[in-house]
């Protein structure tokens, strides 16, 4: 299906990328419909928050049970709309969401409860302070097509359990999956206006971003993320931006080459390489590079490409031809600049319009687009390096900083190097799976975005902090109130010495002076 048919005449069209079958058509949400949805969410949110954390988590438990019961049907729907293998829909979408629900069910109330705050300042000891965590209000989620269930669902669960209302604008390619998420939440007992899904195109997303929402979570391209950040800045709208990555894989000479090569092949080709956490750059220490390349080529050649509904399929189609064309451009640029094509490198037209062979490139370098720009396709480019310092420099030589992996037989060595990698997460002897660890924060640095989702840090993004303090002695005037004079200035100097003078003798002298002033001058306050 040609990309322009995905949003024709005010509609978005859901298409199976493996077969070209039209799965559904949906009217694009208009600016008026976005405003109406926001108004409904605004009215519904206070009652949702007042429901209390325990009752909200009980509804999340209902959702978890329903999803577990319907896992097969939901996974098959994801596969039909995205093309990814059915088993990947189960592992990288369903399993992730079920575990995220588990995390919030077990931890949300503890993480969201009021927190007593001790005061170290002696002058403030008469106050009782606490930190309150209150919902942002209405949270908008603008979500991508590559993980159309796990990305918005994990974000929405965090926002909902914190007491927010949510409006989801899914990718125009994956409206059916978003509506399935809406149906599951409805059946679980989440009020209909508390979670709303609004299919649409770029105009729908723009209307949502420019509306009076209270927070925005956007996952997508750097260019769109920058435009959103600029628009949000005009009214200081808080945003979380997850803008992709060019994730490096660093293979050291002491790594298990058999394991590392399997990790590289899976990390590069899972979801046909259409993952922000996928292995997009692979650096291998020189003395093991040839062995590593040979192993990757051998294993890539065994992958079965086809319709994701076939349980024997390893790699499915790409989402649309436009994305496939980007992959072709990157591979051709690399070949023209001297890269060796070891396997793949071509369309598989006999399978359909959107299939591309798993591709391994050797002898790549940073002059090539495939090592600088996000490819988002089934390509594994491999470059050799000399010592650790060169490998680290290459890994950090990118505008992106989402994730990275280090492969070594020495865990301590891996952990030491991980501290020097410029990325939001670093895995040692694994790749990609950090997104599936519910306790781990997800997000990056540099052009990979700002903010975090998942875990306790993602949950904290869904609330506003409020500090509240009450007086233990409400009838006592404060010594620092008006009534300024020379003796007050001397008392203030003495009071500071009580707390911060280096000499114990001076602290004792200052304490006596402060007490004298307190007894004599306290009644002079206005």
Domains and CATH numbers, the chain: 33-243+456-466 (3.40.605.10), 248-436 (3.40.309.10), 478-524 (no CATH)
Residue 353 predicted with pLDDT over 70:
yes
Average pLDDT, the chain: 95
Q: Please, are residues 130 and 86 in contact by the beta-carbon 8 Å criterion?
A: no
- Checking if the pLDDT of 150 tops 70, the result is yes
- Sign, Cα dihedral of 13, 37, 464, 181: negative
The pTM assigned to this predicted structure is 0.95
Which residue in 88, 172, 242, 461 is the catalytic one? 242
Examine the residue annotation and report whether 276 is marked as an active-site residue of this protein. Answer: yes
Range scoring the smallest mean pLDDT among 197-201, 374-378, 390-394, 495-499: 495-499
C-alpha span between 211 and 337 (Å, rounded): 46
Q: How far lies 272's CA from each of 317, 320, 350, 376, in Å?
A: 7, 12, 17, 8
Predicted pLDDT of residue 208: 97
* pLDDT given for residue 484 in this prediction: 86
CB-based contacts of 294, cutoff 8 Å, min separation 6: none
What are the residues whose beta carbons fall under 8 Å from the beta carbon of 206, sequence distance 6 or more? none
For residue 424, pLDDT over 60 is answered with yes
Exposed / middle / buried, residue 17 (Cβ in 10 Å: 0-12, 13-18, 19+): buried
As a whole number, mean pLDDT of residues 62-87 equals 98
Does pLDDT of 480 surpass 90? Answer: no
pLDDT band at 525 (very low <50, low <70, confident <90, very high): low
Q: Closest Cα to residue 137, out of 217, 49, 66?
A: 49
Q: What is the pLDDT of residue 394?
A: 98
Average pLDDT in the 400-410 region?
A: 98
Give the active site residue among 28, 53, 136, 276: 276
Residue 522 has what pLDDT? 54
pLDDT band at 2 (very low <50, low <70, confident <90, very high): very low
Please give the pLDDT value at position 306: 98
- Please confirm, yes or no, whether 242 is among the known catalytic residues: yes
Higher pLDDT, 3 or 97: 97
| pLDDT over 90, % of the chain | 90
DSSP track, 277-304: TS--EEEEEHHHHHHHHHHHHHHHTTPP
For 182, residues 6+ apart whose C-beta sits below 8 A from its C-beta are 168, 195, 196, 197
Residue 283 confidence (pLDDT) above 70: yes
Q: Does the pLDDT of residue 3 top 60, yes or no? A: no
pLDDT tens for each residue of 199-232: 999 999 999 999 999 999 999 999 999 999 999 9
Concatenating the DSSP letter of every residue in 434-473 gives GGG-TTS-B--EETTEES-BSHHHHHHTTEEEEEEEEESS
Angle between helices 150-161 and 95-112 (to 10 degrees): 20
pLDDT exceeds 80 at position 1: no
Q: Is the pLDDT of residue 264 over 70?
A: yes
Neighbours of 175 (CB within 10 A): 26
**Mean pLDDT, rounded, for 458-486:** 92
pLDDT of residue 6 exceeding 60: no
Q: Is the pLDDT of residue 5 over 50?
A: no
* Contacts of residue 522, Cβ cutoff 8 Å, sequence gap at least 6: 477, 479
Quote the pLDDT of residue 156: 98
């Amino acid at each position: 299906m040609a990309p322009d048919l995905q949003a024709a005449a005010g509609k978005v069209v859901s298409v199976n990328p493996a077969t070209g079958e039209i799965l559904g058509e949906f009217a694009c949400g208009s600016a008026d419909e976005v405003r109406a949805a926001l108004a409904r969410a605004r009215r519904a949110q206070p009652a949702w928050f007042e429901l209390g954390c325990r009752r909200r988590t009980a509804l999340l438990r209902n959702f978890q049970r329903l999803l577990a019961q319907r896992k097969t049907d939901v996974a098959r729907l994801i596969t039909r709309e995205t093309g990814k293998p059915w088993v990947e829909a189960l592992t990288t979408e369903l399993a992730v969401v079920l575990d995220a629900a588990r995390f919030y069910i077990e931890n949300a109330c503890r993480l969201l409860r009021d927190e007593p705050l001790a005061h170290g300042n002696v002058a403030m000891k008469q106050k009782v302070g606490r930190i309150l965590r209150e919902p942002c209000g209405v949270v908008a989620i603008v979500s991508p097509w590559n993980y159309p269930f796990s990305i918005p669902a994990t974000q929405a669960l965090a926002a909902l359990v914190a007491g927010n209302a949510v409006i989801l604008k899914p990718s125009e390619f994956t409206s059916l999956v978003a509506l399935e998420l809406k149906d599951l939440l409805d059946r679980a007992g989440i009020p209909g206006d508390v979670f709303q899904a609004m299919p649409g195109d770029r105009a729908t997303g723009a209307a949502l971003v420019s509306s009076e929402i209270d927070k925005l979570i956007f996952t997508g391209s750097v260019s769109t993320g920058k435009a959103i950040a600029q628009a949000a800045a005009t009214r200081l709208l808080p945003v979380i931006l997850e803008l992709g990555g060019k994730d490096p894989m660093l293979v050291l000479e002491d790594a298990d080459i058999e394991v590392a090569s399997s990790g590289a092949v899976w990390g590069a080709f899972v979801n046909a390489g259409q993952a922000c956490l996928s292995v997009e750059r692979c650096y291998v220490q020189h003395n093991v590079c040839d062995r590593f390349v040979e192993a990757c080529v051998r294993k890539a050649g065994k992958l079965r490409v086809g319709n994701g509904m076939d349980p024997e399929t390893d790699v499915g189609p790409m989402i649309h031809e436009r994305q496939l064309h980007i992959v072709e451009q990157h591979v051709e640029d690399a070949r023209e600049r001297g890269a060796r094509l070891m396997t793949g490198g071509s369309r598989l037209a006999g399978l359909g319009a959107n299939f591309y062979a798993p591709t391994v490139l050797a002898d790549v370098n940073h002059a090539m687009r495939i090592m600088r720009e996000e490819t988002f396709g089934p390509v594994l480019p491999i470059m050799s390096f000399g010592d650790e310092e060169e490998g680290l420099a290459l890994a950090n030589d990118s505008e992106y900083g989402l994730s990275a992996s280090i492969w070594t037989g020495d865990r301590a060595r891996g952990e030491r190097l991980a501290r020097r990698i410029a990325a939001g997460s670093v895995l040692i002897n694994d790749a990609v799976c950090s997104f599936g660890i519910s306790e781990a924060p997800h997000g990056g640095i540099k052009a990979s975005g700002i903010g975090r989702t998942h875990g306790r840090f993602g949950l904290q993004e869904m609330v506003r902090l409020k500090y509240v303090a009450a007086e233990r002695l409400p009838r006592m005037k404060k010594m620092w109130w008006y009534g300024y004079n020379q003796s007050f200035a001397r008392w203030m100097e003495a009071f500071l010495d009580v707390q911060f003078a280096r000499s114990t003798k001076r602290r004792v002298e200052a304490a006596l002076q402060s007490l004298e002033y307190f007894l004599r001058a306290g009644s002079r306050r206005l």
